[in-house]
Structure 1
Amino acid sequence: MTAATPVTPATRARGGFCLAVTGTVVLMAAASAPSPFYPQLTEQLQLPPVATTLIFAIYAIPLLLALLTLGSLSDRVGRRGILTVGSVALSVSLLMFWAADSFLLLLAARALQGLAAGLLVPVLNAMMVDHEPSRWLGAAALANTVAPMAGLGLGALTAAGLLDLPGIDAGTIFLLLAAVFPLLAATAWTIPTPPVLPGDAGPDPRARRVSAATRRRIIVSVAPAIIAGWVTNGLFLALGPGIIATRFHADTYLHQAGSIIILAAAGVVAATALQGATARRISVFGAVSLGAGTVLSLAALAVPTLPGYLASVAVVGAGFGTAFMGAMRTLLPHVDPGQRATVMAVIYTISYLAMSVPVVLAGFLVPALTLPGAAAVLGGVVVLLSITATLTHLRTPTELTPPATQHRPKGTRRP
């Protein structure tokens, strides 16, 4: 920027926050874009049902390895470099999807996509906290919830809509997405990084040990809700289009992707509507909605009734969005600035394990139980986890659940 337009803290916050939110939306859109054509891939390549879930779940293996080994790297070497490497890797993976003509190449593309996501997820989520607007407490927790869900819904909606058009195939979608990430990386280098403040090094060693113990306690308390939500997320991303196609005889990509779109939209609406509530109230609402919506969806599959099923998906989506936001609202106030990417890597390691392992299991169950039967098994797990999460949140001490989101008065600074 020129001398006439100095970089102010407000400018830095707006630019970095918008970049992180946009990057997360596009990243999750790229993750969900393949979902609408999984049934088509299965048919064209004559793959067994487990192959579809393997294409989906292979994404999580390198992602988890990257989260575990490299998730904290941006805390030490800076956000922009890691963001650039991850963006380039993701573009390459999307080009591999565009060129894929075999099961092995699809697996390789999906694996590289997972590795890139493992680099990008903690960086982007940490950047949301780094650049949180100073007059909006809780903006980072809200964005960490809304941006991924918006991306999931946008990716599924765009891919399904384009695939229903004549002359448009999956390759077109991947080329469009591949072009976005180099722009994202280039933009990151135009945004000044936040200065390292004297207090950013953290408290004295004794206080840091107490803080670390508190963080571990909070992570354990929010884990059941996170796991329940991400099991549900994996279920709908991997099996949702197939369930709509086979159980309700949907014959367009847009109809088959309907459950993903509704899940994401409901999560965004619920999280936005409840952003002013306490962390505990948000968390309990999310856990109860996840359990209730899952029970309703299984009942709708048993009847079967498509309107009832889609309504239950909306309840589940509201639960997923608010359960994750409640977890973030509970945890983020207890995270030191120099540990944000590290903590987000831990959270997303739990999340992606919860998303991938049950989906692979479901792939093996489908031949014996059918898609609705496999969904019922996973649904039972979600209900049990939701009950556990509800009871855990109700027993959580009040001091570990921050108050409702508040807008800071103009001119005040964050303590």
Structure 2
Amino acid sequence: MASTGRLLLAVVAAAVVWSRAAVAAGEEPSAGPSGAATMRSEAEEAFARGERARRAGRWQDAEAAYRAAWKADPRPELAGELGLSELALGRPRDAAEHLWESLLYPETLQPAALRRFRAGLEKAERVISVATVAVSRPEAEVFIDGRSIGRGQGMYFVYLDPGRHEARGTLEGYVDDVYPFEAQRGRESMVGLHLELKPPPPVAPAPVASAPVASAPVASAPVASASIVAPAVPAPAATPGGPSAGTVFRVGGVALASAGVALGTGFAVAAAVRGGEAEAQAAQIRERDGAAACLSKAYAEPCGVLREMIDARDTLKAAAWGSFIGAGVAGAVALSSLLWAPEPGKRAVRAAPLAAAHGGGVIFSGSW
């Protein structure tokens, strides 16, 4: 299953997803310093109730108390305790969401709490599924099984129960893209949604005026009669049925290349941020404990965090290069189709990007 290092790659996406979920749940920020102090006091009281219930093994009461504390003061420690309570109650998907949120800022947690939350998340991930959803138009709204998971991002990371699911991307002026997939227990699904512009409405053909039929007088004769018949007007040539598969392929390829460049840029920026954090962590360790501190078991915790940062930075760099290379390949193939333009076909060509923290790819379907 995914490691904690991989989970930290989606910090930006997660912050937006969880903030939207909080707004949807009706949570509002406190108004002023006095309101904030009151909320913190309520959170501490609820947290104390949760701790007493947890020690007594009353997980239902503990979950309710931790949830009240987290709503009053949504800090990582309270999210983690809520997640562990949900895990004990047999709700691994809810538990994974709250435990993952608690680990977004590990520096705010005590070492013992950090170990407990990581162990709980690993346990939850073994029985649920993970989905990484990439969409070619970041401004599109993305749904999973009819539930909105966000708008305004190029990638989303969600936990799902094992089973059949459906991802959908919608944007005004574009054709919805729907992607059904099977989420398997303990495994990750990568979903690509590619939205294409809606075709313009068909233009009604101009009416063709019929040529008048010329009539001629009949010449009288003692034995025979003759008449003159106007020549038949030729039927207009049939108009083409629509763009060829080659045209659709080229348009899709250019759009896919643009999406790849956008994703690669995002990965590159995230890699730079993660690299800066790793350098700061390394400098802090060197300044406090010397250059050889990570060789000692006494510094396993800060050095472990440093290794995770470095792994995250390297993974993001690889994903950025993969996105840029994929964009170049898609653009080159689209342009090369000018040389081998296929015959018009009945089926459109569909190209959908697949992108995730560990890499990406492209799906082509259709006939050409």
TM-score (norm 1): 0.22
Per chain length, whose mean CA-contact separation is higher, i.e. which structure has more relative contact order (CA < 8 Å, sep 6+)? 1
The structure with more strand, counted as a fraction of residues: 2
The structure with more helix, counted as a fraction of residues: 1
Larger Rg: 2
